[in-house]
Structure 1
Amino acid sequence: MGEVEMQPDPQLGNANDDDDDDDASVPGKQIRSKKKEKKRHNKWLSVRRCARIPLKLILAIVTVYVCILSSERYFYYWVQTTIERTDVHVSEINFPAVTIIPVVVTNLNTSEQAQRLTRVFNMARAVLWQTPDAARLDKHSFDAFPEYAHLNPTMLDIDTVFDSMQYSCKNFFAECTWRRKHINCCSIFRSKSTYRGFAYVFNSLRCEFPDETWPWSVGTSGSLSGLNVKINRNQHMFDINMLGVIVHEPTQVLGHSIVYSTEDRIVIPVEPLRFTAEADVKARPLHMRRCLFESEIGRLGQSRSECISKCHVQYVLARCNCTLILPTPLTAKLENITDPTDYKGQTICGVKHLPCFNENKLSLFSMSNIIEESRENIFTTIDCGCFPQCDHTQYHTSTYTERLSSAENIDSVVEIDVYFQEETLFLYCSRLSFTLLDLMVSFGGIAGLIMGISVLGWVNAILDRFTCCRQPNDG
């Protein structure tokens, strides 16, 4: 028998081939599966990124909006006035300045010309000061003096009426008391304030030749604790029928409180309010803080009272088509507003314009920053925009008068008593309610709360953009 040749089993050979193929295909499948998995991951990553874009945009808009609301507190509601103290003693503030002016007089000269000029004087004072007598004046009252139609009413003073310099401080005052001690009246009063005519002012820094020790202060409250003066009704050439008393700040010419009285005793209790401001408030615009610092007043060259006076004059010019020549300022440092060159081409107000003044009921010597224009039940006003000092004291008064019996008033005098009603007062302070530091903290808190942003996070994000600063990756 011949040899039988052994043939390889085809099935076995195919099996080996398949095994080889399977072994060769395993790495490829893993690679393909990894690629597919990476594609799916990148797809979801892109979806998540795209979904975050509108969310981040909405949050960014919300953050900006809230930051704008927060910044409004910084730019528009930055200054607030609060009570700093309730126990400030009156010795810590200045005593108010007091100006005394005869408003209505009787001329002892019986000549017709003297009597007519005196009536014009009293009428002009009543209109310019808006005394109670002004309401009783009518058209016939103003038309009764045609010879004085062009006479400037602000130029009418005691010298003009009586053509005499025979009055004096010694004749005007009968007795003066300061802090319950008798004192020489002529040593504490200065004559000829900015008001035309017979006027005396006490404790004012804006008068001619003020005392070097002014402004004075007191250490207590109550009647006779401040200024008490007695004035002779019967002067050498005239009798005083009505007095005007102005209580005002020593640094101002005018005051909020003007008292007109024909009584024998005028009692003026004063209730002061003290106002101060932090230095940081100066950073805010004037129309927001509504007060002036001392350096700003020096730059403007006028006090609040002078600003208000000019505002009233401008109102007269608009209403009555004439210009008033106001009295010369008290100190040489102030601008001379009576310079004739200032009024070229303008009509100077005369007695003939007094009906227009009286119709508009404008007091040229009041400290009112608001001029009322109300007519026929339509309430309208004009704001002069004259701001006080940030560091100042307001003196509010509540006045009462009384008529003394003949026995008590045997010397025919008028007594004026000015004093602080209480020993303590309120101190108000204007300060920044929202500072720049508060604004930064507010912005940081808003950004961190809504968007999770911080300064450190931004720094790290910027540094990660540079290869040298990237953090090493493990693996």
Structure 2
Amino acid sequence: MNTSEQTETVIERRKFFYQNTKKVAAEFCDASPIHGIRHLAGRDKLLVEKIWWILLFFLSLYFCLTYMYAVIEKWLKDPIIVSFDHQPSSIYSIPFPAVTICPETKVKASELNVSHTFQLVRSGELNESMDAERVRKLLALLQLCEHDLYDRSETVTQDNDMLRLLRKMAIPSFEVFQSCDWKGHPMDCMDLFKTTLTEKGFCYSFNVLANNDLLRKEELDSNYAFNSERRTSQWSLDFGYQSGIGSNAFPHRVITGGYHGSLAVTLKVNKSDVDYFCGNSFQGFKGLLHMPNEYPQLMHQFFRIPLNQELIITVVPQVMSIGERAQQYQPEQRQCYNSNERSLRFFKIYTKKNCEIECLTNYTFELCGCVRFSMPRPPGAPICSLRDAPCCRKAQIRKLKLQAKVEDTEDSYLPKHYCNCLPTCNNIDYHWQVSQAAWDWQKDRLVTLAPVLENVHQSKVIIYFKQANFIPLKRNEINGLSDMIASCGGLLGLFMGVSIMSLVELCYFCTLRPYALWKITENRIAARRTGLPRNKP
């Protein structure tokens, strides 16, 4: 083929390409059901008509894509809805709340007169060279006070000394509990309440999981002891109680609400031990209700049990679960973690509060080089002294500010020290209502008026579920993939008249139909060049 023939062939192909393009466009406009397309072709249409329909087409396309974007964005960001379940559940299916009680009186007067010892140390009349044990007891006790009361330039307590001294000075349980009733039956308080370490010192907890079920001991310092409970748990947050366990399961549970399914505890404080030095004018006890698998923290939430008062605490559980389809989403989309999706260093069981205390512990250790005495700590980590108290508060404030900063921004980047402690997908919150009244316990016929009780204050707290049933909450999928496709398809049909077959036709006219016309064109050019009859398509 010479140069002139090649040039002629190129020109002919361009001509056929232009003709074929117009032909495909005309066929598509004539056959497509998409609104407005058929008005864009035809010689009987004026230019102003075509411009009119082009503007309407793109205007309709704009609104269609805008609403489709809103539907897809909502599906990606908020695919989960929390709603009430269809049927109520029995409180027998969940554990009775764990109860932690902390005396406001931290030390017996016979062990240490706090006010007098503090005055002696401040005035310089007493120091460690004179009575090291007494001064160290004071320093350990001041870590439990609500205010800064000591000069941090002085000598501070050592690591293992801190817990030993606090445990030695703590009010023994037999001097805290007068009597206990569980489900209407008298019980030994020592069997119900176990010694627990909290940020308020050594307290007493009922229905809390044992260390072996809650903590990873291999990751903790050997001197750290969370509680003295020894019973093995027969319940988990995701799967509930083991089958066939019955009403004697641990953690404890009840069948009915009201007084017959209650925990009634009578507490006492020796009048000689009452000391207003460390706290404020309140004396008595602090209490907290929480899940049995949670580390108790009384810093942010608690109820007070005043002296010579009787409290009735009615509990309304708020139980959250997650549906099967909702579990298929990422934790950031459903805003919760399944138990197998997040692992903690110190705790075997993930909960939001356990995660927060571990996060604060790690950050405090990184910032201050030590941890507070109540925090779970790695082997060899020193306990913060009074001198480190400002640093510990700084760590806590920085964590709160970091949390607020992350919640205020829409940036997907998470800072280094942000722990992202989402709630568990299956969760129990115990909401309580408190009513109290003065209790003239000396006139109570059930109280033994022995001489030993004449020099004490007493308080009583009764805790029970408000009702025998509750309506649980459930995380469900608000719009699945099929719902999103149906919504987008409806918008495409409403604004554009587009269906699945319309999209198939569009693909056909963009691929297969141009290829067929190209093959016809090549056959014509080849036939013209060779002089042979043209093949029919």
TM-score range relative to shorter protein: 0.5 to 0.7
Q: Measured at CA, do residues 321 and 468 of structure 1 come closer, stay the same or move farther in structure 2, by a change above 3 Å?
A: closer
Return the alpha-carbon distance in structure 1 between the equivalents of residues 401 and 313 of structure 2.
25
Q: Measured at CA, do residues 467 and 354 of structure 1 come closer, stay the same or move farther in structure 2, by a change above 3 Å?
A: closer
Deviation at 1:419, TM superposition (A): 1.6
What residue is the counterpart of 1:263 in the other structure?
Answer: 307
What residue is the counterpart of 1:187 in the other structure?
Answer: 191
What residue is the counterpart of 1:276 in the other structure?
Answer: 321
Choose from 468, 477, 484 the match for 1:439: 484
What residue is the counterpart of 2:296 in the other structure?
Answer: 254
Q: Read off the aligned partner of 1:324 and give its amino acid letter.
A: V
Say if 1:83 and 1:426, in contact at 8 Å, map to a contact too: yes
What residue is the counterpart of 2:386 in the other structure?
Answer: 351
What residue is the counterpart of 2:22 in the other structure?
Answer: none
Task: Name the SS of the counterpart of 2:470 in structure 1.
Answer: strand
Deviation at 1:349, TM superposition (A): 2.4
Instruction: State which structure, 1 or 2, has the greater radius of gyration over its C-alpha atoms.
Output: 1
Say if 1:204 and 1:214, in contact at 8 Å, map to a contact too: no
Q: Measured at CA, do residues 446 and 226 of structure 1 come closer, stay the same or move farther in structure 2, by a change above 3 Å?
A: same
Deviations 1:297-336 (A, max 9, x none): 3478643222211344467579x8453245475xxxxxxx
Return the alpha-carbon distance in structure 2 between the equivalents of residues 403 and 216 of structure 1.
28
Say if 1:79 and 1:432, in contact at 8 Å, map to a contact too: yes
What residue is the counterpart of 2:85 in the other structure?
Answer: 84
Say if 2:108 and 2:169, in contact at 8 Å, map to a contact too: no
The reply to whether residue 216 of structure 1 matches residue 261 of structure 2 is: no
Q: Read off the aligned partner of 1:109 and give its amino acid letter.
A: E
Q: Give the TM-score normalised by the residue count of structure 2.
A: 0.59
Unaligned runs of 5+ in 2: 1-40, 118-130, 215-226, 234-248, 276-282, 405-416, 517-537
Deviation at 1:249, TM superposition (A): 0.8
Q: Measured at CA, do residues 234 and 125 of structure 1 come closer, stay the same or move farther in structure 2, by a change above 3 Å?
A: same
The reply to whether residue 245 of structure 1 matches residue 287 of structure 2 is: yes
Deviation at 1:233, TM superposition (A): 3.4
Q: Read off the aligned partner of 2:165 and give its amino acid letter.
A: T
Q: Give the TM-score normalised by the residue count of structure 1.
A: 0.66
Return the alpha-carbon distance in structure 2 between the equivalents of residues 232 and 217 of structure 1.
26
The reply to whether residue 233 of structure 1 matches residue 235 of structure 2 is: no
Deviation at 1:353, TM superposition (A): 3.5
Deviation at 1:248, TM superposition (A): 0.5
Residue range with higher mean Cα deviation, 74-83 or 54-63: 54-63
Q: How does 1:21-60 map to 2 (within 5 A)?
A: 43-44=43-44, 52-60=53-61
Task: Name the SS of the counterpart of 1:306 in structure 2.
Answer: helix
Q: Measured at CA, do residues 95 and 42 of structure 1 come closer, stay the same or move farther in structure 2, by a change above 3 Å?
A: closer
The reply to whether residue 295 of structure 1 matches residue 306 of structure 2 is: no
What residue is the counterpart of 2:472 in the other structure?
Answer: 427
Deviation at 1:284, TM superposition (A): 3.7
Identical residues among aligned pairs (%): 18
Deviation at 1:195, TM superposition (A): 6.1
Say if 2:144 and 2:200, in contact at 8 Å, map to a contact too: no
Deviation at 1:454, TM superposition (A): 1.2
Return the alpha-carbon distance in structure 1 between the equivalents of residues 303 and 370 of structure 2.
27
Deviation at 1:74, TM superposition (A): 0.5
What residue is the counterpart of 2:379 in the other structure?
Answer: 339
Return the alpha-carbon distance in structure 2 between the equivalents of residues 467 and 121 of structure 1.
87
Q: Read off the aligned partner of 1:79 and give its amino acid letter.
A: I
Say if 1:107 and 1:118, in contact at 8 Å, map to a contact too: no
Q: Measured at CA, do residues 431 and 326 of structure 1 come closer, stay the same or move farther in structure 2, by a change above 3 Å?
A: farther
Q: Read off the aligned partner of 1:72 and give its amino acid letter.
A: E
Say if 2:288 and 2:302, in contact at 8 Å, map to a contact too: yes
Say if 2:267 and 2:460, in contact at 8 Å, map to a contact too: yes
Choose from 408, 417, 430 the match for 2:462: 417
Task: Name the SS of the counterpart of 2:358 in structure 1.
Answer: helix
Q: CA RMSD in A?
A: 4.4
The reply to whether residue 393 of structure 1 matches residue 452 of structure 2 is: no
Task: Name the SS of the counterpart of 1:279 in structure 2.
Answer: coil
Say if 2:100 and 2:205, in contact at 8 Å, map to a contact too: yes
Unaligned runs of 5+ in 1: 1-40, 127-133, 330-336, 364-368, 375-381, 470-475
Deviations 1:224-271 (A, max 9, x none): 632122345359x97896433221111211257423445144443323
Say if 2:144 and 2:199, in contact at 8 Å, map to a contact too: no
Return the alpha-carbon distance in structure 1 between the equivalents of residues 269 and 471 of structure 2.
38
Task: Name the SS of the counterpart of 2:302 in structure 1.
Answer: strand
The reply to whether residue 149 of structure 1 matches residue 151 of structure 2 is: no
Say if 2:363 and 2:395, in contact at 8 Å, map to a contact too: no
What residue is the counterpart of 1:308 in the other structure?
Answer: 356
Task: Name the SS of the counterpart of 2:60 in structure 1.
Answer: helix
Q: Read off the aligned partner of 2:269 and give its amino acid letter.
A: R
Task: Name the SS of the counterpart of 1:106 in structure 2.
Answer: coil
Return the alpha-carbon distance in structure 2 between the equivalents of residues 403 and 42 of structure 1.
96
Aligned residues: 388
Deviation at 1:436, TM superposition (A): 0.8
Q: Measured at CA, do residues 251 and 214 of structure 1 come closer, stay the same or move farther in structure 2, by a change above 3 Å?
A: same
Say if 2:294 and 2:353, in contact at 8 Å, map to a contact too: yes
Return the alpha-carbon distance in structure 2 between the equivalents of residues 424 and 211 of structure 1.
27
Q: Read off the aligned partner of 2:371 and give its amino acid letter.
A: L
Deviations 1:119-148 (A, max 9, x none): 54443223xxxxxxx2xx4x6x223x8655
What residue is the counterpart of 1:5 in the other structure?
Answer: none
